[in-house]
Amino acid sequence: MRLVKLLANLGYGSRKEMQVAIRNGWLTDREGSRLKADAKTAHEDILFDDEPLDPAHGVVILMNKPLGYTCSIKDQGRLVYDLLPDRFRMRKPVLSTIGRLDKETSGALLFTDDGTFLHRVISPKSEVPKIYEVTLDRPMKGDEGALFASGDMMLESEDKPLKPAELQVLDETHARLTLHEGRYHQVRRMFAATGNHVTDLTRSHIGGLGLEGLEEGKWKVLSEEEKTRIFEGG
CA neighbor of 145 nearest in space, from 173, 170, 176, 166: 166
CATH number of the domain that residue 11 is part of:
3.10.290
Indicate whether 161 and 141 sit together in one domain: yes
Reported as a single tens digit per residue, the pLDDT across 91-110 is 999 999 999 999 999 999 99
23-28-33 Cα angle (round to 5): 95
**Residue numbers annotated as active site:** 102
Indicate whether 69 and 101 sit together in one domain: yes
Give the CA count within 13 Å in the CB-facing half-sphere of 41: 24
Reported as a single tens digit per residue, the pLDDT across 158-197 is 999 999 999 999 999 999 999 999 999 999 999 999 999 9
Indicate whether 162 and 150 sit together in one domain: yes
Whether a cis peptide bond, with omega within 30° of 0, leads into 93 is: yes
Owning domain of residue 8: 3-52
CA distance 147 to 164: 9
CATH number of the domain that residue 184 is part of:
3.30.70.1560
Q: What is the pLDDT of residue 25?
A: 96
Domain membership of residue 234 (yes or no) is no
Q: What is the pLDDT of residue 191?
A: 98
Total domain count, the chain: 3
Q: What is the pLDDT of residue 190?
A: 98
Instruction: Identify the domain boundary among 15, 36, 52.
Output: 52
Q: What is the pLDDT of residue 211?
A: 97
Domain membership of residue 108 (yes or no) is yes
Domain membership of residue 156 (yes or no) is yes
Phi-psi region of 51 (alpha: psi -120 to 50; beta: other; left: phi over 0): beta
Q: Considering the chain, what percentage of its residues have pLDDT values greater than 90?
A: 93
Q: Considering the chain, what percentage of its residues have pLDDT values greater than 70?
A: 99
108-102-55 Cα angle (round to 5): 45
Instruction: Identify the domain boundary among 34, 52, 70.
Output: 52
- Mean pLDDT estimate for the chain: 95
Reported as a single tens digit per residue, the pLDDT across 187-234 is 999 999 999 999 999 999 999 999 999 999 999 999 999 999 999 875
Indicate whether 112 and 88 sit together in one domain: yes
Indicate whether 146 and 199 sit together in one domain: yes
Q: What is the pLDDT of residue 234?
A: 55
The pLDDT of residue 2 is above 80: yes
Instruction: Identify the domain boundary among 15, 34, 52.
Output: 52
CA distance 147 to 151: 8
Domain membership of residue 91 (yes or no) is yes
Domain membership of residue 180 (yes or no) is yes
Reported as a single tens digit per residue, the pLDDT across 117-164 is 999 999 989 989 999 999 999 999 999 999 999 999 999 999 999 999
Which residues, other chains included, contact 67 with Cβ-Cβ below 8 Å and sequence gap of 6+?
Answer: 103, 104, 105, 106
